[in-house]
């Protein structure tokens, strides 16, 4: 192995694609809700209220298998009966098809605009009464547990109904806290679902890289992602030229030109893959002032990501990963400003155990996003390896191998490729989920040429 990465032409294997989509057992949802309620009662709560809308549905889907379309939805749990789901007209039938049995209430406050409204009576019937201690689960946690991102019409009514003898607080951390949130570790079934998603997104980005040509429009290039209609975790991003420097834009009919910077991200529930670089075959196609793009930006970036990968271990505190990136990419030129890596689930970003000084340990069952993004703010643009990995102790690995042998074969082939062809050995507990694992082609018209530490 060489001590520094170099740009090398490497044949990327075909790691294969799933022949079927893994499904969670229906019983998983009841078990998750029971575990959550046990934790809620341990905190002295009488009721949990889980709010969701189309943009922020993963907490509700994790618990029930149902996600709202067009409208909002509210789950109320904690009584003696099955949990109640409050939905509008559009979601009535969809909620009835959920794998978790729920009592449905048609609440016009949750319906499309200009419908009749009535909420208080149903909240009261579901135990939101004077003196009740209510925990609200929205999308995020905040410094002050009185803050909630659930809409004010819901939070204000709950506070009014429980009155001064009750309490209302944000308990979203029960699900997303990086140390012990229920959604921050996953069983074998869920990891298999996420591996299936990662195959789709990474193969989509691979298809984009292999088919990209100057003269295409951004929209034509986006079709190379081969989206099959799976629910998106974020809008599809693809932009080239001056627009690419803004990062999160979607494709237009702008023509992609030789020498353009280009970035693309493709995310569905449980997987997201992103790459960025320049639409050229080599450094000669770059502007004269940045022909050291690989040496100045891409190589140190890849070496930092490789060090991040090599360090992954169960029990490692998240702060250790932060320190690796701070040491290697701390120069303001690189512009690293987000947590260098985070937890991944149905949503692209759940929470992150990685921050300065974090003692939050990496745990078996975590699915993490390699998400370390330079934002140079210069003509050097950026470089990006963004993809998912899972961490699994030996019992979880054994279960995954026994129950999902096709996925396990792909995972092992990726590990071997990263070790032997890229020179990035991984601890046994690190399971790469992407079909382009750690492959970084800086020149997008040469998608078979990327950084490696391995000897030829």
pLDDT beyond 90 at 117? no
Residues 250-255 have a mean pLDDT of 97
Which residues constitute the domain of residue 413?
A: 182-452
What does the pLDDT average to over 234-252? 94
Query: Tens digits of per-residue pLDDT, 121-151?
Result: 899 999 999 999 999 999 999 999 999 999 9
Sign of the four-CA dihedral 415, 421, 426, 432: negative
User: Does residue 16 fall inside a structural domain?
Assistant: no
pLDDT tens digit sequence for 260-306: 999 999 999 999 999 999 999 999 999 999 999 999 999 999 999 99
Question: What's the average model confidence in pLDDT over 171-187?
Answer: 97
Is the pLDDT score of 324 beyond 90?
Answer: yes
Q: Which helix (H) or strand (E) holds 411?
A: helix 405-420
How much is the pLDDT for 168? 98
Integer Cα distance of 61 and 98 in angstroms = 9
Is the pLDDT at 421 greater than 70? The verdict is yes
Q: What is the pLDDT, as a whole number, of residue 2?
A: 53
Q: What is the pLDDT of residue 330?
A: 95
- The per-residue pLDDT for 112 is 80
In the chain, the number of structural domains is 2
Question: Do 94 and 134 have their domain in common?
Answer: yes
pLDDT of residue 247: 84
Q: What is the DSSP string of 1-44?
A: --SS-EEEE-PPP-----SS-----THHHHHHHHHHHHHHHHTT
Shared domain check, 253 and 151 = no
The per-residue pLDDT for 326 is 97
Answer yes or no: is pLDDT of 1 > 70.
no
Q: Where does 161-211 show beta strands of DSSP type E?
A: 167-170
CB atoms within 10 A of CB 231: 12
Q: Are 253 and 393 in a shared domain?
A: yes
Residue 197 pLDDT: 98
**C-alpha separations of 160 from 40, 120, 122, 137, 155 in Å:** 21, 10, 14, 18, 9
Q: What CATH number corresponds to the domain at position 321?
A: 3.90.230.10
Q: What angle do CA 192, 233, 85 make, to 5 degrees?
A: 90
Q: Where are the alpha helices (DSSP H) in 143-182?
A: 152-162, 173-176
N residues, the chain: 456
pLDDT band with cut points at 50, 70 and 90 for residue 404: very high
Same domain, 194 and 295: yes
User: Per-residue pLDDT for 456 more than 60?
Assistant: no
Q: Domain holding 161: CATH number? A: 3.40.350.10
pLDDT given for residue 118 in this prediction: 73
Residue 177 domain-assigned (yes or no): no
114: burial class by Cβ within 10 Å (0-12, 13-18, 19+)? exposed
| 294 and 407 together in one domain | yes
- Average pLDDT over all residues of the chain: 96
CB burial of residue 249 (10 Å; 0-12, 13-18, 19+): middle
Residue 284 lies inside a defined structural domain of this protein: yes
Residue with tokens 């998603």: 197
pTM: 0.96
Render pLDDT for 75-85 as a digit per residue (tens, 0 to 9). 999 988 999 99
Question: Do 125 and 274 fall into the same domain?
Answer: no
Share of the chain above pLDDT 90, in %: 93
């Amino acid at each position: 192995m060489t001590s520094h990465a170099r740009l090398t032409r490497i044949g990327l294997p075909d790691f294969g694609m799933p022949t079927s989509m893994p499904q969670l057992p229906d019983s998983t949802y009841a078990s998750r809700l029971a575990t959550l309620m046990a934790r809620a009662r341990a905190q002295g709560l009488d009721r949990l209220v889980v709010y969701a809308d189309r943009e922020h549905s993963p907490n509700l889907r994790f618990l029930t298998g149902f996600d709202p379309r067009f409208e909002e939805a509210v789950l109320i749990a904690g009584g003696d009966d099955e949990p109640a789901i409050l939905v509008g007209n559009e979601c009535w039938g969809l909620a009835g098809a959920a794998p978790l049995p729920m009592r449905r209430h048609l609440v016009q406050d949750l319906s499309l605009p200009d419908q009749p409204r009535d909420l208080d009576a149903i909240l009261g019937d579901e135990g939101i009464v004077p003196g009740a201690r209510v925990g609200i689960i929205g999308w995020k946690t905040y410094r002050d547990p009185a803050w909630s991102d659930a809409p004010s019409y819901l939070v204000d009514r709950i506070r009014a109904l429980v009155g001064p003898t009750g309490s209302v607080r944000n308990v979203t951390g029960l699900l997303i806290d990086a140390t012990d949130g229920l959604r921050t570790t996953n069983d074998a079934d869920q990891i298999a679902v996420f591996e299936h998603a990662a195959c789709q997104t990474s193969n989509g980005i691979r298809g984009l890289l292999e088919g990209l040509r100057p003269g295409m429009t951004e929209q034509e290039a986006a079709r190379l992602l081969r989206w099959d209609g799976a629910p998106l975790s974020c809008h599809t991003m693809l932009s080239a030229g001056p627009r690419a420097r803004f990062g999160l834009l979607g494709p237009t009919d702008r023509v992609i030109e030789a020498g353009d910077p280009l970035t693309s991200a493709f995310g569905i529930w449980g997987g997201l893959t992103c790459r960025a670089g320049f639409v050229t075959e080599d450094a000669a196609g770059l502007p004269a002032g940045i022909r050291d793009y690989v040496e100045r930006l891409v190589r140190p970036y890849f070496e930092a990501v490789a060090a991040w990968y090599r360090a992954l271990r169960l029990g490692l505190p998240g702060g250790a990963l932060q320190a690796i990136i701070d040491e290697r990419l701390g120069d303001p030129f690189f512009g690293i400003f987000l947590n260098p890596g985070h937890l991944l689930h149905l949503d692209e970003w759940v929470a992150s155990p990685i921050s300065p000084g974090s003692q939050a340990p990496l745990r078996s069952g975590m699915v993490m996003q390699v998400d370390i993004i330079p934002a140079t703010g210069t003509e050097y643009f950026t470089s990006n390896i963004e993809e998912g990995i899972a961490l699994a102790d030996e019992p979880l690995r054994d279960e995954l191998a026994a129950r999902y042998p096709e996925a396990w074969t792909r995972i092992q082939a990726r590990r071997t490729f990263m070790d032997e062809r890229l020179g990035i050995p991984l601890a046994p507990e690190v399971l790469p989920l992407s079909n382009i694992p750690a492959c970084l082609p800086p020149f997008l018209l040469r998608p078979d040429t990327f950084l490696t530490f391995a000897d030829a």
